[in-house]
Structure 1
Amino acid sequence: MSIIQTIRDKAAPVTIGVIAISLIGFILMDAGRSGLGGGVSPKDAVVSVNGVDLSWEAFQQKVKLNEEIQQMQGNVVDENTRQQIYTETYNTIITDELLNQEYTKLGIDVSDKEFNDMLFGKNPPQWLTQQFTNDKGEFDVAAARQAINELKKNKANTNRDMVNNLYLNPMIEGTKRNKYAALLQNSSYVPKWMAEKSVADNSQMANMSYVVAPFSSVSDSAVKVSDADIMAYAKAHASEYETEEGSRSIAYVSFDASPSTQDTADVYNSLAALKAEFEQTTDAGAFVARNASTLPYFDGYNSKNRIQIAQKDSIIGAGIGKVYGPYLDVQSYVLSKVVDMKVLPDSVKARHILIGTVDPRTQQPTNDPVVAKKKADSLLAAIKAGADFTMLALMNSDDEGSKIKGGDLGYFANGAMVKEFNDFCFNKAKGAMDIVQTQFGYHIIQVTDQKDFNPAYKIAYLAKNIDASQTTINEAQLKANAFLSKSKDLKSFEATLSADKLTKKIAQDIKAADYQVGMLGVNRELVREIYKADVGDVLPEPFELNNQFLAIAITGEEPKGLPSVAKLRPMIESIVRNELKGKMLAAKLAGVTTLEAAAQKLNVPVLRADSVSFVSPLLGGSGYELKAGGFGFNKNNIGKISAPIIGGSGVFVVKPEAQFAQPVTTSVDEMMQTLMSQQKGALLYGSMEALRKTASVTDNRTKFL
């Protein structure tokens, strides 16, 4: 990243627009259109798609990019987020590869001329126009090209991949995808007869009488659903229940190792004992560091509205030099001391020219400090003599993130920069200009604006996490070890659970590449351990996770394809039971020739439904019944009763009485447009589903994760 981006908050989120423009020189270098990837060997493949290996290295680069995007948006990339990114990136690279294979077959590409027009033509991308807008609010193509020519001279641009992956590749891939979508959608066709039939169908109405025997009229206990019934239904609907990969299930018991009441009291008392000394010390920063605070000392100021602490009114209200606390803050106890107060701007706008002395990525020297300082002095003298700051920044600054904008950094909040840079901008008056040295080199800084002056406070925090003591941890671990000493296999595991009156918990559908186990949370190592063992094994050591020790038994394994009956039963038993009930009720109604006879056999009334719609046949309280309602729309059935019809909610006997058409407002042309739109939408989704379903995908993630 550029140096100023590293400066911001020492690791603050990067502004995407700054990245894009700072690296725009990459756009016209080496055609600018090739992404990551290249030749890979099979052993490096994280996944193979139709025989094409996608390397682990390329996969990791995409994961890293997605993590950086999350950070740019101000999100914390914790383990849970990171593993979600892994899964999403994996699915994305498969989709991208499948589409790329289709693009090759169809000859879909983006030429250099087309790509150049996308950047500088009539509709340039927003991220580009935002940075090169003139005083009239128009895209300044000349200025953009001038900046690009300057940046093209820098062959050592450290962020070529970043701008490529953040902006250029998505723009290219988006264009290809749009072409592919257009090709599919332009193949859509709706004949006029289909639209005419749809209009006619929408107008069809019918009146009918019927008798219904709800499935609920037969008790569940009267119908036995066998394993064969379950499997037969699953095979008949295999596409709904088959899985693409296997899974495992575990049973576990947890032994709590969270902080005890005594542990919490000990942390509170340890801070309370330091309160008086903390108040008396004249060097709050040293005191905080000496006492190993989990919140490091920030030697800067923040306005009250930027202090994100519920107790801030009490902390500030205690007065300068006074200590407030200990108070509870999430999982810590904290002492807070207001060290000083100043009236400072809430935000500052500045520009700078950096003469760097180190590479921000490698930390290797780039310029001799003495030479860098002399160059900074000469540039400052030139500016004071009337030289243009913007042009000198464009020609001399080593900060790629701001030089393209004449060194302008925009507005930033107090504390957003490293200390030396921050102190100059917020402590000096508007218009101040001088040389400031930071860890990155020498900056010629000019404060161009300051706004929203308010009291700002320097606050020292002495914080201690409320952690479980070693005694608490040892007690929980001993209990877990004692349990495992009596649980060498699944049978003894169950017996010990029963004997010790412990609660067994279950986690199912754990796939080999998963990162989360049921309600236990994110832990990739736990998944690996589950798959190292055999079914029926008990893990020999307790697994420590989230303030608990777990004793774990591997209880089962499901292969890919149709699951076992045990797993299928909870999903489809009620469906199969209703099918069996339907057959029983239909048999009971066999041979009836009138609705009255059917009603008498079932001891239910004859019901009537008027103005039933063909497209949505609603039969009273039974809901939408396509089969039963559809019987009423055959003209040859009017006045006749149906054979028993097994529907969605019960078994029906239907007698159509009349069929008629109602006026419709939709024209044939309008219906054609509607059907065409539906077809186009279905094509986009369906084509991707078809590609994935027919693809040969070999998942090698478990070799790396």
Structure 2
Amino acid sequence: MSVIQTIRDKAAWIIIAAIALALIAFIVQDAFQGRGGGMFGGSSDVIGKVNGKKIDAYEFDSRYKAAEQNYQAQNYPVDERLRGQIRESLWNEYVEDAILGNEFEKIGFAEIGKDERGDILYGENPPQMLRQQFTDPKTGAYDAHTAYQTINQLKKNTPQFNSFYGEFLPALEKARMKEKFVSLISNSAYTPKWLVEKMNTENSQVSNISYVNIPYSSVGDSAIRVTDEDVKQYVNENKEAYQQDEARGIEYVMFDAAPTAADSAVSYEAVATVKNEFAAAPEKDVESFLLRNNSELPYYNAYVLGSNMKVSNADSIKQLGDGQVFGPYLDGGNYTIAKMIGRRAIPDTVKVRHILVKIADPQAGQVRTDSAAKFLIDSITTAIRNGASFDSMVVKYSDDMGSKETHGEYTFESNKFGQLSREFAEAAFYGNAGDKKTVKVENSSYSGYHYIEVINQKNIGTAFKVAYLSRPIIASAETVNGASTAAAQFALDSKDKKSFDENAKKKNLNKYPAMDIKPLESGIPGLGDNRELVTWMFRTAKPGQVAERYYQIGDKFIVPVLVAAYEKGNMSVDRARPLVEYKVRNKKKAAEIVKKVGGANTLDGISKAVNQPVLKADSISYASPFVPNVGNEPKLIGAAFCKNFQTAVSTPIVGEIGVFYLKIDNLGAQPNPNFDVKQMQMMMNQQQRMVGMRVIEAMKKSADIKDYRINFF
């Protein structure tokens, strides 16, 4: 027993030691490879660095979530693509803030003070949002006093206060600082008069030359070999022109789980089965019927002008009698039955004016009982009927702040009917011009009593109320399972690029390329969004590696293999070759041409050596990059004005289409009687000042930016 106990005791220590070592290994590995690059590339709370300044991941995430919630509150469809755009915009803001912050400190820019803040909000150029809200409709002037009073009345710790002082005002101050910086750079640019005159003198020059053009095509491509080393050397010599961002490239095979013909038939039958029941449903039950039957299209309980009906089979639907149905018919990816509910005449456009008395508005700090609101709206109505000014009633009593400056007036098109409160919309569109009535609106930001006057109605036509029972054509479980199983088996059988290619050929599957995928893209361009797939490319996969599983994009299951991994810096040889191979080849051809010319030092001698004629070009302009009958040859233009070549043949000029030798026959100038030095100077100064708008992008390029976002998203 004691022996067994001894073994147990020792084994326990061995197990404890093994666990401890595993934990240490895990921690060390996390330090080197953790989020943000580990201890040597940032930490889990650092999403990036700009010139050594850290961008906090938690702060970034907090601001990102606030932005996403703001889009959702405005009913934007927040998908992966929009999320990526939000993150990119926020990242650029952080980078710009870090770069400009350093520059502001260097040049002594002070923070925005109270006086300048007042100028931003109430000066001659107020923010557009304030200008729209506080412009006097009669004079068209900005009412800074009212704006000041309204802003000062914002109560602390309310959503409006926090939004204004926490987001809106800081953004305005930041924009003002940036504007001052750009203006400082722009105003530092200046073109002196002597430079303008010198440029005019040079641009007035003309040259007549004799030349020999030995085209690169005179040397066969087969005689010139461009090696990988040649390409690499060319890229290294021209680094600025051949930089690349981090990117990945894949090939993939695709297994389609789109509905089959059999699936389509099942979907059709499901809709056709309830056709008679839908036709028999009374109007009051139509909405609940569509809900019970899971219609893709909700019931739009309003009339739509015939000219605005943009649905499939609209002409046939308009011919239906009340209560009749049409279908099932194919509408996009759905089978649909249309039921005519009714028809009536409505205007395409209405103009109304109204006064709103809210019942309750906790955000504005205003609470009014229903009876008090009803009493006030009745009093306003009576006053107007007895001759009181509508405009004065609007200014004094209306709780619709957005229409105070427009006398309470709104113009609506009929396609905006569904965006209005039903009671308000029906009063405006279903009544007649000249109608005056009070309606009560509930469950809206405009809840309360509205006194409405219909000023006019235009373009009255026949409108239709139609209910649509619509169901999508859905792939069956058998179809989906078949595609996913085939994709999973392909991934299991394909261990590397070679077996991937063999299996694709064996199964007669097409291979599709997707190249130049950036680290923060939402998915595969042209295919769809799948952020998880992009993450696999950058965090896990090595060139030649096949994904261990499939990725689903829409109704497609794909299995990818990573075929290219490009790191930031000089272009790799395989990526650069299509761009530079012809340039390297022409460079080598130029050397062969020069060798063939040998020691010939006259145009006639060169002409005989290469069997090319001596040509002439007259009136070459210094200001133009083009040579008549030759094309874009800036080096040839430059040599045509080199005085050394008036007495001797030029050295070889390696151009775009060939090698040139020239001799200047005559140099002269053409007068420019319309030249206005002051106007030209002014125009050049304006162009120079554009540099202020480009300087920030130039600063970004020269900044030391470490981007760890791929480890977070």
Q: Same fold (TM over 0.5)?
A: yes
Contact 2:121 2:127 in 1 (8 A): yes
1:437 aligns with 2:442: yes
1:353 aligns with 2:354: no
Q: Which residue of 2 aligns with 1:643?
A: 651
Letter in 1 for 2:273: A
SS at match of 2:442: strand
Q: Structure 1 residues 651-660 or 323-332, which shifts more? A: 323-332
Post-superposition offset of 1:65: 7.8
Q: Which residue of 1 aligns with 2:22?
A: none
Letter in 1 for 2:639: F
1:302 aligns with 2:310: no
Give the Cα separation in 2 of the matches to 1:312 and 1:73: 31
1:446 aligns with 2:448: no
Contact 1:488 1:538 in 2 (8 A): yes
SS at match of 2:338: strand
Q: Which residue of 1 aligns with 2:484?
A: 477
Give the Cα separation in 2 of the matches to 1:684 and 1:434: 53
CA change 1:226–1:181 in 2 (3 A) is: same
SS at match of 1:551: strand
Q: Which residue of 2 aligns with 1:682?
A: 691
SS at match of 1:414: helix
Give the Cα separation in 1 of the matches to 2:359 and 2:516: 57
1:465 aligns with 2:485: no
Contact 1:625 1:647 in 2 (8 A): yes
CA change 1:304–1:112 in 2 (3 A) is: farther
Q: Which residue of 1 aligns with 2:249?
A: 249
Post-superposition offset of 1:54: 3.6
Letter in 1 for 2:595: A
Contact 1:421 1:438 in 2 (8 A): no
Q: Which residue of 2 aligns with 1:588?
A: 596
CA change 1:64–1:345 in 2 (3 A) is: farther
Letter in 2 for 1:483: F
Contact 1:229 1:576 in 2 (8 A): yes
Give the Cα separation in 2 of the matches to 1:153 and 1:177: 28
CA change 1:567–1:130 in 2 (3 A) is: closer
| CA deviations over 1:428-450 (Å, ceiling 9, x no partner) | 67321143433669511222326
Give the Cα separation in 2 of the matches to 1:529 and 1:235: 31
Post-superposition offset of 1:136: 3.2
Q: Which residue of 2 aligns with 1:14?
A: none
Q: Which residue of 2 aligns with 1:94?
A: 95
| CA deviations over 1:365-393 (Å, ceiling 9, x no partner) | x999xx84344344345435649999998
Contact 2:355 2:394 in 1 (8 A): no
- 1:302-451 equivalent positions in 2, closer than 5 A: 302-346=304-348, 347=350, 349=352, 350-356=354-360, 372-384=369-381, 386=383, 402=402, 408=408, 410-412=410-412, 413-419=416-422, 422-423=425-426, 426-427=429-430, 430-438=435-443, 442-449=447-454, 451=457
Q: Which runs of 5+ in 2 are unaligned?
A: 1-41
Post-superposition offset of 1:420: 5.1
Contact 1:380 1:434 in 2 (8 A): no
Contact 1:212 1:653 in 2 (8 A): yes
1:52 aligns with 2:42: no
Contact 1:198 1:671 in 2 (8 A): no
Q: Structure 1 residues 553-562 or 171-180, which shifts more? A: 171-180
Q: Which residue of 1 aligns with 2:34?
A: none
Give the Cα separation in 2 of the matches to 1:359 and 1:288: 36
Post-superposition offset of 1:586: 1.7
CA change 1:327–1:107 in 2 (3 A) is: farther
CA change 1:332–1:374 in 2 (3 A) is: same
Contact 1:242 1:561 in 2 (8 A): yes
SS at match of 2:290: helix
Of the candidates 528, 532, 556, which is equivalent to residue 525 of structure 1?
A: 532
Q: Which residue of 2 aligns with 1:494?
A: 501
SS at match of 1:415: helix
Give the Cα separation in 2 of the matches to 1:618 and 1:228: 33
Q: Which residue of 1 aligns with 2:586?
A: 578
Q: Which residue of 2 aligns with 1:603?
A: 611
Q: Which residue of 1 aligns with 2:516?
A: 509
CA change 1:105–1:410 in 2 (3 A) is: farther
Q: Which residue of 2 aligns with 1:216?
A: 217
Which structure: larger Rg? Answer: 2
Letter in 2 for 1:431: K
Give the Cα separation in 2 of the matches to 1:329 and 1:68: 33
Contact 1:356 1:441 in 2 (8 A): no
1:666 aligns with 2:675: yes
SS at match of 1:296: coil
SS at match of 1:432: strand
Letter in 2 for 1:563: M
Post-superposition offset of 1:555: 2.6
Q: Which residue of 2 aligns with 1:280?
A: 280
- 1:36-185 equivalent positions in 2, closer than 5 A: 43-56=44-57, 59=60, 78-108=79-109, 109-134=111-136, 136-139=138-141, 141=143, 144-145=146-147, 148=150, 152-155=153-156, 157-160=158-161, 168-169=169-170, 171-185=172-186
Q: Which residue of 1 aligns with 2:575?
A: 567
Contact 1:512 1:531 in 2 (8 A): yes
Contact 2:295 2:470 in 1 (8 A): yes
Contact 2:355 2:397 in 1 (8 A): no
Post-superposition offset of 1:200: 1.3
Letter in 1 for 2:264: T
Post-superposition offset of 1:207: 0.5
Give me the identity figure in percent.
Answer: 32
Q: TM-score, normalised by structure 1?
A: 0.83
SS at match of 2:667: strand
Q: Which residue of 2 aligns with 1:13?
A: none
Number of residue pairs matched?
Answer: 654
| CA deviations over 1:323-359 (Å, ceiling 9, x no partner) | 1222332222221112122334544634423223888
Post-superposition offset of 1:478: 2.6
Post-superposition offset of 1:253: 0.9
Letter in 1 for 2:457: K
SS at match of 1:188: coil
SS at match of 2:564: strand
Q: Which runs of 5+ in 1 are unaligned?
A: 1-40, 361-365
Of the candidates 636, 639, 662, which is equivalent to residue 628 of structure 1?
A: 636
SS at match of 1:94: helix
Give the Cα separation in 1 of the matches to 2:407 and 2:448: 10
CA change 1:438–1:627 in 2 (3 A) is: closer
Give the Cα separation in 2 of the matches to 1:422 and 1:454: 17
CA-atom RMSD in angstroms: 3.6
CA change 1:678–1:120 in 2 (3 A) is: closer
SS at match of 2:195: helix
Contact 2:496 2:545 in 1 (8 A): yes
Q: Which residue of 2 aligns with 1:225?
A: 226
Q: TM-score, normalised by structure 2?
A: 0.82
Q: Which residue of 1 aligns with 2:263?
A: 263
Post-superposition offset of 1:58: 5.5
